[in-house]
Structure 1
Amino acid sequence: MAIIDVVVFEIGGTLYALDIHLAREIVEMMPITPVPRAPLHIAGIINLRGEITNIIKLNEILALPENEDRENQKIIVLMSDESGGSNLGIIVDNVHSVIQVDENTIDKMDSAFSKEAYVRGIIKERSDLDGEEKTELIIWIDLGLILNALKEE
């Protein structure tokens, strides 16, 4: 039984997760400088403690609507070795938590579907709210596939 640590975040009202070892840090939203003629999924660049960091809109890559409420938006800055040596961050609507997930609670996706949707699996997270047990579905995205696809473009 393997335990996996994931960061749970929200885009468009849906919960998503990525492996914690891919994330270097989570920062509050800050002004983003647009880059001329950049593809739609590139929001621009930021100066993060003296380092230029490219910021991508994960919702654009996943073909999800953009959230108008930007109050809780965060940037998940990725480990540079995971993003091909460059500084890269992704915009999410909100970061909820870091959780440990038992690999047995993850439903793996059909490989043909998962490559197109960038989905590694579905995490079933049980929570107990007001004495009522509830199971939330969290889409575990394959950030490695996403970054590889971006490199090929």
Structure 2
Amino acid sequence: MSMAEMTDMRQYLTFRLGSEIFAIDVAKVREVLDLTAITPIPRTPELMAGVINLRGSVVPVVDLRQCLDMAKTVSTRNTCIVVVEVVLDGESTIIGALADSVEEVIDLDSAQIQPAPRIGMQVRVDFIRGMGKRENSFIMILDIDRVFTAEELRGTSTENTATEAAA
């Protein structure tokens, strides 16, 4: 294997949300935790599940299914928290993301990844880095830095801010 081929290969953590399999670059993953007690925070957006105590640090936890406009996560014995490092407002931030289950770490090279589909101007797909081909199925590779914005986590959006400013 040449150096160019080795650098084209990347590792991804795959996880399940409903019946779909998603993946994120392992470089963004800090750890995977069994589901633990999540303390809800009043007056936060619905996608914000709450916070957990991670070795003495307060870590916000988001419901990744709700970030992707899916039904709210229902806890099962396989539900877990994927702790990721994301960039929000230019700062590195640690966030936990609920997943229905974690599958495995896989290697994909650039030849196995197709660009995200272009669906139209009204449908937001900028959070999909690409579609990984594996056997007879696709794995949606997420750009975790774009799955949610700081505004969504604060419960605001540019539309809400403009509406409030006009009132």
CA contact (8 A) 1:33 1:46 kept: yes
Match of 2:106 in 1: 99
Give the C-alpha shift of residue 78 in structure 1.
1.1
The 3 A distance-change label for structure 1 pair 51 and 69 is: closer
Give the C-alpha shift of residue 89 in structure 1.
0.7
Match of 2:15 in 1: 9
Aligned length: 143
Q: Pick the structure with more strand per residue.
A: 1
Match of 1:88 in 2: 95
Match of 2:165 in 1: none
- Give the gaps of 5 or more residues in structure 2: 158-167
The 3 A distance-change label for structure 1 pair 67 and 32 is: closer
Aligned equivalents of 1:113 and 1:15: distance in 2? 23
- Give the gaps of 5 or more residues in structure 1: 127-134
CA contact (8 A) 2:63 2:73 kept: no
The 3 A distance-change label for structure 1 pair 112 and 136 is: closer
Match of 1:48 in 2: 54
CA contact (8 A) 2:18 2:100 kept: yes
CA contact (8 A) 1:12 1:66 kept: no
TM, length-normalised to structure 2: 0.77
TM, length-normalised to structure 1: 0.83
Match of 2:150 in 1: 150
The 3 A distance-change label for structure 1 pair 39 and 23 is: same
CA contact (8 A) 1:16 1:140 kept: yes
* Secondary structure of residue in 2 paired with 1:86: strand
The 3 A distance-change label for structure 1 pair 69 and 45 is: closer
Measured against aligned partners, the alpha-carbon deviations of 1:47-100 in whole angstroms (never above 9, x if no partner) come to 011110000011111001234352201111112x64533331100000000011
One-letter amino acid matched to 2:141: W
* Secondary structure of residue in 1 paired with 2:41: coil
Match of 2:162 in 1: none
Give the C-alpha shift of residue 113 in structure 1.
5.4
RMSD: 2.1
| 1:108-147 matches, cutoff 5 A | 108-110=115-117, 116-117=124-125, 118-126=127-135, 135-147=136-148
